[in-house]
Chain A
Amino acid sequence: MYSWLWRKLPGKRWLKVIQSLILIGLLLALLYLQVFPWLNTVLYPEPQSGL
């Protein structure tokens, strides 16, 4: 999967490295800004009442 992606990235090795880092950065941003905050609201439903 990742080797396939590596082959698909155009350019020389250093260009591929830069592109990979950008992709990882985008993925992290998506996770931390959108996915995780949303998951937090979904995973924790209203608890049983009490103190």
Chain B
Amino acid sequence: MSNTELPDGTTIRWAPVKSRPKTSKVLVFGELLLTFGILLGLFAAYQVFIQDEVVGTKQTELAKEFGAGIPDKEFTNPELAKSVGQVFARMYVPRFGSDWTRLVAEGTRWHPVLNEIGVGHYVNSALPGEAGNFAVAAHRGGFGASFKNIHQLVEGDRVYVETNDYWYVYKYLQTKVVEPTEVGVIDSVPVGLDVGQQGGKYMTMTSCTPIFVNTHRIIVWLELEKQIPSSAGKPKELVEVP
């Protein structure tokens, strides 16, 4: 900036003006902290509001396309499903919605069963239709939240389990909330089941409760009502969509 000559002869010397203050390190640090905070918020929103929808839809699609006449997508026969992750059945729970369906795989590990496939069968618990307790687990919140509405199951509800050879229809018995250590709930005669007796053909659904707190386990017991050969086709209760 040049000097300015005033009429009375004095000269004003303009100091060079910096166009903008330089970005300081403190400012950048603050901006980074803010950004990180916003990212954490976005991730929390993803986990609570979005991922169940995304993963759940994926698991439903997986269950729907499985079988459908594709040779290498046949179910493993339940008695042969020995290694974790082998899919041997498909579940339908009308109470969870008419389009709710999930594959059932051996084992209750998070990977690759509960998080990716959906429903896991407790290793060493009975198989569908067998005397004893066919026990399965699934997530309540997060990773598709397959059993999110397990607390809504009531008297009169049915759960359908489809394998290569049979449709198994289980009817609701009882719901109970227990400590995670009370593993007797998946015994062949479930501990805590009021009507439990030796030789009964039970099914147990387990999940976490309360949703996202997960300090306890919610248990739903069911009992085999009937068993229909696959050749008879999909049970009509499932086919007719209200």
| A contacts, CB < 8 Å to B | 1-4, 28, 31-32, 36-37, 39-41, 44, 46-47, 50-51
> In the complex, are the beta carbons of A50 and B46 less than 8 A apart?
no
Neighbouring A residues of B182 by C-beta, 8 Å: 51
> In the complex, are the beta carbons of B51 and A1 less than 8 A apart?
no
Tell me the chain B residues, 100-125 only, with Cβ under 8 Å from chain A. 109-111, 115
Chain B min CB distance to A37 (Å): 7
Neighbouring B residues of A32 by C-beta, 8 Å: 42, 46, 50
Contacts A3-B23, A36-B51 given; indicate if A51 touches B28 (C-beta within 8 A). no
> In the complex, are the beta carbons of B186 and A51 less than 8 A apart?
yes
Chain B min CB distance to A46 (Å): 5
> In the complex, are the beta carbons of B39 and A31 less than 8 A apart?
yes
Contacts A3-B23, A51-B137, A51-B185 given; indicate if A36 touches B110 (C-beta within 8 A). no
CA of A47 to CA of B178, assembled, Å: 18
Contacts A46-B109, A51-B180 given; indicate if A1 touches B46 (C-beta within 8 A). no
Neighbouring A residues of B109 by C-beta, 8 Å: 46
| Residue of A36, A46, A51 touching B111 (CB-CB under 8 A) | A46
Give the nearest-CB partner of A45 in chain B. B110
CA of A50 to CA of B183, assembled, Å: 7
A44-B110, A51-B186 given; 19 more Cβ-contact pairs under 8 Å: A2-B31, A3-B20, A3-B23, A31-B39, A31-B42, A31-B46, A32-B46, A36-B43, A36-B46, A36-B51, A37-B51, A41-B115, A46-B109, A46-B110, A50-B181, A50-B183, A51-B178, A51-B180, A51-B206
| B contacts, CB < 8 Å to A | 20, 23, 27-28, 31-32, 39, 42-43, 46-47, 50-51, 54, 109-111, 115, 137, 143, 178, 180-183, 185-186, 206, 217
Neighbouring A residues of B180 by C-beta, 8 Å: 50-51
CA of A1 to CA of B181, assembled, Å: 51
Give me 23 A-to-B residue pairs in the complex whose CB atoms sit less than 8 angstroms apart, sorted by A's number. Answer: A1-B23, A1-B28, A2-B31, A3-B20, A3-B23, A28-B42, A31-B42, A31-B43, A32-B46, A36-B42, A36-B43, A36-B47, A36-B51, A39-B43, A40-B143, A41-B115, A44-B110, A50-B181, A50-B183, A51-B137, A51-B180, A51-B181, A51-B183
CA of A50 to CA of B137, assembled, Å: 11
Neighbouring A residues of B32 by C-beta, 8 Å: 1
Give the nearest-CB partner of B28 in chain A. A1
> In the complex, are the beta carbons of A1 and B43 less than 8 A apart?
no
Neighbouring A residues of B137 by C-beta, 8 Å: 51
Neighbouring A residues of B54 by C-beta, 8 Å: 37
Contacts A1-B23, A4-B23, A51-B183 given; indicate if A40 touches B111 (C-beta within 8 A). no
